[in-house]
Chain A
Amino acid sequence: MAEERELQQSEQQAGPNGSDAGRFMLGMENVSVRYGAVAALEHASLGIREGEVVAVMGPNGAGKSTVLKAIMGLAPVAEGQVYWRDAPLTTATHEIVKHGIAFVPQGRRLFTHLTIEENLEMGCPYLRDKTERRRRMDTVMELFPILHDKRKDLASQMSGGQQQMLALGRGLMANPEVLLLDEPTLGLAPNIVASVFFNVSRISEELGTMIMVVEHNIKGVLDIVDRCYILDTGRVVFEGTPDDVRSTHILTEVFLGKVQPMDGEEE
C-alpha cells in the first residue's frame, strides 16, 4: 500500500503536479484558489487530453467544483496558471467561451422563464449565423429528441432528467471542444442518473468533445471516463485510470479521511 502511494505521488510530481501541464489540451498547473483565508484549491495540476473524458472526484469540500470554476475564470486564482493548447488561458469568462470551452454548472441553472429553444439559443452568445445556429440546434435535438418534442415549452415544465438533457444541450450549442460538467447527476433519480452518464458518453463518442466531469456518483462515472483525478482538501491526491482507482483503496481513504498528504505525513 505504501509502495502504491509512493508510486502515485511520484506520478503526480512528474505529471499533473509537475511542470508538463502543456501536454494537456486544457490543463492547470500548480493552481491555488483562495476565498479569503480559506484555500479551496492548493497547487493543483491536472488536465485533459484530446478525445478524453476525465472525472474529478472527491468528498465534499475537496475543491472539485473549484477546479472547473478556476478554468472558467469564475474563481480567484491566487497562484498557478490554466493552459489551453499550451498557451496561458485568459481569466475572462466571455473570452474563455470563445476558445471553445463550455461549462454546464451545478444544479443545471436553466432559465426557467424561457422556452427550451430559447434556452438552447442562450448557449451560443457569439454565433450570429442563423443557419449555423439552426444546424447546432438540430444536432442537439437529434442527440436529445425530447428537446425537439418540447421545444416550445418552458424549461420549468420539464422533469429533472429532461432539464439535465437541456443543460447538456445548451452547453453543446457553443460547439465546444471541451465540456466542463459540474455534478450533472446531482438530485436526479437513480434510473435517470444512468441515462445522464450514457448521454455524456455519447457526446464524447459522437461529437468528439473532450469532457471533464466533476461527479459524486463514483461508481457510475468510473464506467464512462478514461482517467480520473481524486481531490482531497484542495489537493490532487491521485491520478489514474478507472481500473487504477478500483484496484486501490484510495477512495475509501479519501472519503474516510485517512489519505496521506503529499508530504508523506499521516493526517
Chain B
Amino acid sequence: MTTRTGESTEAGQRLGLVGRLKNGNIELWANLIVLALVIGFVFWRGSGFAITIGTVFAIWAILTVSLNLVVGYTGLLSVGHIGFFGIGAYSVAILTSTTDYSLLRTQSIPTHEWPFFAALPVGIVLAGAVALVVGVVFNRFRDDVFVLVSFGFAIISFNLFLNAGAITRGAFGIHEVARPNIVGRTLDGELEYLIMALACLAIVSLVAWAIVTSSFGRVLTAIREDEQAAAVFGYRVTHYKLAIWVISAMMAAMAGGLFSSWTSFIDPNSFILLESILLVSIVILGGLATIWGSLLGAMTFVLLEEGMRFLPFIPDVYVGQARQVALGVLLVVLMLFRPQGLMGRYKL
C-alpha cells in the first residue's frame, strides 16, 4: 500500500547547512520557508495576529500529530478523526458553559458550569471510550473499507452533534464555554491561552514521540508494512491497532476541548466531514510517520488559511473556497512531485 522513501545518504548528512540547501534538500527548504513566513507574518500583522495563528496552529497541530499516529505510523487511513475532536469539544462546552439556556427561546440544555480542567478529562476519557467501542468494530476492516467505515463515523458524529438537541443544542450551538482557570487565575488573555495550547501541544508531541520510538511504535511500523507478518510472530495486531486508535482519539479530544474553550462557542459546522478530510490532507502535506512533519504541515496550513484572507485579488466572499482550492492544488502538486509530503517517511 505504501513505500518508504529513501534515507538520506551518509554523504548528505555530512554536508553543512549551506551545502544541504545547495543540494536542494527539500525538507530543509520547507522548514526555512515556513519559518520565514511565520516571521514575516509576525512583523507584517503584529503580535496579536501572531498569537491568534499560534493558537490555531497549536490546536491543528495536536490534531495532526494524533492523526499521524494512526494514518502515518500504523497505516490506517481514517477520515473520521473529526468525530473525536467534536466529542472533546462538546464535552467541554456542555460541562463548562455558563449560559442559562432556560432563558432562551431556542433549544434548552442544562447548565453545569464545571471548571475547564474538570471537563477536559471527561471529554478525553469519553472520546477514548467511544474510540474503544468503535475500534473493536473497525478492527475488522482494512485499507479501502477502513476508509469507508471511518467516513461513516464522521457522518454519524456530525449528525449526532446536529440532531441530539437535548444534549448539544443542535444547530443553535453552545455559548460561553469557559476558559481554563489555573490557581484562581482565568486564562482570558490570548497570550496566556496560546502558552497553554502550546504546552498541551508539547505534551501531545512528547507522548507521540515516546510512543513511536518505543518497541510499541516499532510494532506499529511493522503492522503498517505487513500486518500478517507481524501476526505470524505472535503480535496481537488488533490490540496494537486498537490501542493507538484510542490514544489518538484521546489526543484529538484534547484538541477539541481547547478549541471550544478558545472560541467560546461551538456548533456542528466545526465538525463536518470536510474538516476531517482537511485534517488528513494536512497530515499528508506534512508527511506520513513524522511528528515534526505534522507540526510543519499544520503551520503551513494555518499560514495558508490565514494568509489568503490578505490577498487583495481574492474577494472576501470567496476566501473560504479559495483556501480549499489552494490546499487542493498544493496536495496535487505534492502528490506529483513529492508524494511523501514535506517531511514524510512514506508515500501514501
Interface residues of A (CB under 8 A from B): 72, 74, 93-94, 96-98, 102-103, 105, 109, 111-114, 118, 121-123, 125-126, 154, 156, 170, 174
Contacts and interface: CB of A to CB of B under 8 A. Distances in A.
Nearest to A108: B229
B222 A125 contact: no
B144 interface: no
A22 B346 CA distance: 48
Contact of B4 (A93, A103, A112, A126): A112
B229 A111 contact: yes
Contacts of A103: 232-233
A114 B218 contact: yes
- Residue of B218, B234, B346 contacting most chain A CB atoms (<10 Å): B234
Given A113-B4, A154-B7, A156-B4, A121 B218 contact: yes
B231 A112 contact: no
Nearest to B7: A154
8 contacts: A109-B226, A109-B229, A113-B225, A113-B346, A122-B218, A122-B233, A125-B219, A174-B233
B234 A97 contact: yes
B225 A94 contact: no
Interface string B211-252: 000010011011011101111111110000000000000000
Contact of B235 (A72, A113, A125): A125
Contacts of A125: 219, 233-235
A150 B236 CA distance: 29
Contact of A118 (B218, B226, B232): B218
Nearest to B223: A111
A125 B215 CA distance: 10
B225 A111 contact: yes
B7 A97 contact: no
A122 B225 CA distance: 13
B242 to A, nearest CB: 15
B236 A94 contact: yes
Interface residues of B, number: 21
A8 to B, nearest CB: 33
Contacts of B230: 111, 122
A54 to B, nearest CB: 20
A109 B4 contact: no
Contacts of A93: 231-232, 234
A156 B225 CA distance: 12
A225 B82 CA distance: 57
A74 B4 contact: no
Q: In the A-B complex, list the 8 residue pairs whose CB atoms are closest, starting with the nearest.
A: A97-B234, A109-B229, A94-B234, A111-B222, A125-B234, A113-B4, A111-B225, A125-B235
Contact of A114 (B222, B228, B236, B346): B222
Nearest to B289: A113
Task: Determine the main DSSP class of B at the interface with A.
Answer: helix
B244 to A, nearest CB: 16
Given A94-B235, A174-B234, 5 more contacts: A93-B234, A94-B234, A111-B229, A122-B219, A126-B234
A94 B230 CA distance: 10
Contacts of B234: 93-94, 96-98, 125-126, 174
A123 B4 contact: no
- Residue of B7, B233, B236 contacting most chain A CB atoms (<10 Å): B233
Contacts of A126: 234
Contacts of A156: 4
Contacts of B346: 113
Contacts of B224: 113
Nearest to B2: A113
Contacts of A98: 234
A111 B231 CA distance: 13
A203 to B, nearest CB: 17
A130 B219 CA distance: 17
Contacts of A102: 233
Contacts of B7: 154
Contact of A113 (B219, B221, B232, B236): B221
A127 to B, nearest CB: 10
Interface in B329-348: 345-346
Contacts of A111: 221-222, 225-226, 229-230
B216 to A, nearest CB: 11
A156 B221 CA distance: 14
A161 to B, nearest CB: 19
Nearest to B236: A94
A123 B228 CA distance: 14
Contacts of A170: 233
Contacts of B232: 72, 74, 93, 103, 105, 109
A152 B218 CA distance: 15
Contacts of A123: 233
Contacts of B229: 105, 109, 111
B39 to A, nearest CB: 35
A122 B345 CA distance: 20
A105 B219 CA distance: 18
Nearest to A156: B4
A29 B4 CA distance: 43
A114 B289 CA distance: 13
Contact of A97 (B215, B225, B228, B233): B233
A24 B293 CA distance: 54
